[in-house]
């Protein structure tokens, strides 16, 4: 056989010499059977090694953050958290919540939105700064009241966001603006301040701009994507999470 000649023409190691010897005497069916047996053996060895590696990860604590569900860990930047919240202004009026019963009692209920814990990653800037700062250091099951000044919420009102548009723009769009009306422009909402004969004055500031906000925050879960350190180790490695709900 050509394969056997190729093996014998070189200084092969013992396993290859043994294999060539078998190939000279075995028929092709036995050879295929031998190859299948070798593949099965390799798969078994890989599974065995994977089991050893997984056991090692558990022993060193790499899987701890997944097994404990983040129940005993404080939320830090880089962690994903799930929180329930009730947002109020200083006069006690609820303006937003993730809790359905509170939304209904506050006459804020909206059938189109889901009422469930808010999930986000700390340190990514997806929430107002004061809200993120309030969550950092909290544990799962903990509830805290957080007062957020306007500078760490939606900022102070800006004069440059007070604009005037020609009334004809609204007429052409089939809209009749009225004072106090909220109009969605696609890129943001604006509140109608004045309606004149030719111009409409609009406020594009966030409705909560300039207001101090009070949040009641309950952490439901802390998901830490870090390697749990050994007693004598303090190095951490981040794991990137490709999903965010």
Indicate the pTM of the whole model. 0.60
**CATH topology match: 67-154+210-223 vs 159-203:** no
Is the pLDDT at 14 greater than 90, yes or no? no
CB 85 within 8 A of CB 217: yes
125-134 pLDDT, tens digit each = 999 999 999 9
135-158 pLDDT, tens digit each = 999 999 999 999 999 999 999 999
Q: Would you kindly state where each structural domain of the chain is located, as residue ranges?
A: 2-60, 67-154+210-223, 159-203
More confident position, 13 or 111: 111
More confident position, 221 or 30: 221
Concatenated DSSP letters of 119-141: EEETTSS-S-HHHHHHHTT--TT
Look up the CATH architecture of domain 159-203: Beta Barrel (2.40)
Nearest to 205 by CA among 161, 163, 164: 161
CATH topology of domain 67-154+210-223: Chitinase A; domain 3 (3.10.50)
What is the mean predicted confidence (pLDDT) over 1-16?
Answer: 43
User: Where is mean pLDDT largest: 31-45, 65-79, 176-190, 230-244?
Assistant: 176-190
């Amino acid at each position: 056989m050509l394969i056997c000649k190729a093996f014998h023409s070189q200084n092969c190691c013992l396993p290859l010499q043994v294999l060539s010897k078998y190939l000279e005497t075995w028929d092709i069916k036995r050879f295929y059977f031998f190859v299948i047996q070798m593949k099965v053996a390799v798969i078994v060895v890989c599974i065995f090694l994977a089991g050893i590696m997984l056991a090692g990860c558990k022993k060193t604590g790499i899987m701890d953050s997944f097994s404990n569900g983040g129940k005993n860990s404080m939320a830090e930047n880089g962690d994903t958290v799930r929180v329930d919240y009730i947002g109020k202004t200083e006069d006690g009026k609820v303006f937003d919540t993730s809790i359905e019963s509170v939304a209904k009692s506050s006459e804020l209920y909206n059938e189109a939105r889901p009422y469930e814990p808010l999930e986000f990653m700390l340190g990514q800037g997806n929430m107002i700064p004061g809200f993120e700062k309030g969550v950092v250091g909290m544990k799962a099951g903990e509830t805290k009241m957080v007062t957020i000044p306007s500078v760490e919420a939606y900022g102070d009102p800006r004069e440059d966001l007070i604009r005037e548009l020609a009334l004809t723009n609204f007429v052409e769009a089939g809209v009749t603006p009225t004072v106090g009306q909220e109009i969605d422009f696609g890129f943001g909402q604006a509140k109608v301040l004045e309606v004149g004969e030719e111009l409409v004055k609009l406020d594009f500031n966030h409705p909560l701009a300039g207001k101090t906000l009070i949040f009641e925050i309950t952490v439901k879960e802390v998901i830490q994507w870090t390697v749990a350190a050994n007693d004598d180790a303090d190095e951490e490695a981040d794991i990137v999470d490709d999903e965010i709900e």
